[in-house]
Amino acid sequence: MGVALCAALVLASASPAFADRYDKRRAGHPLRIAAYIIYPVGALLDVLIMRPAHWLVNQEPFKSAVGHED
């Protein structure tokens, strides 16, 4: 009962989320258009290459060989 009451209070006090207003002057900027294309590529490289590489370097014997610290 107490958990439900706390959840109801949290939900009641939350303010609604709104998206940013569309500004056609900023949305059409060439660098922003490039970022729309480049960002997913960078996120994919992070997930497919950088995170596994970090995990690998965090394991012995690589950890001591490259001087990785926790």
Q: What is the pLDDT of residues 1-48, one digit of tens each?
A: 788 887 777 777 777 777 778 877 777 888 988 998 999 999 999 999
pLDDT at position 64, please? 83
Residue type at position 56: L
pLDDT for 68 beyond 80:
no
CB 26 within 8 A of CB 32: yes
Residues 6+ positions from 26 with CB-CB distance below 8 Å: 32
- Per-residue pLDDT, 52: 94
pLDDT at 66: 81
Whether pTM exceeds 0.85? no
Instruction: Read off the amino acid at residue 39.
Output: Y
Q: Whole-angstrom Cα distance, residue 42 to residue 49?
A: 10
**Is 46 in contact with 38 (CB distance < 8 Å)?**
no
| Residue given tokens 């370097």 in the structure block | 57
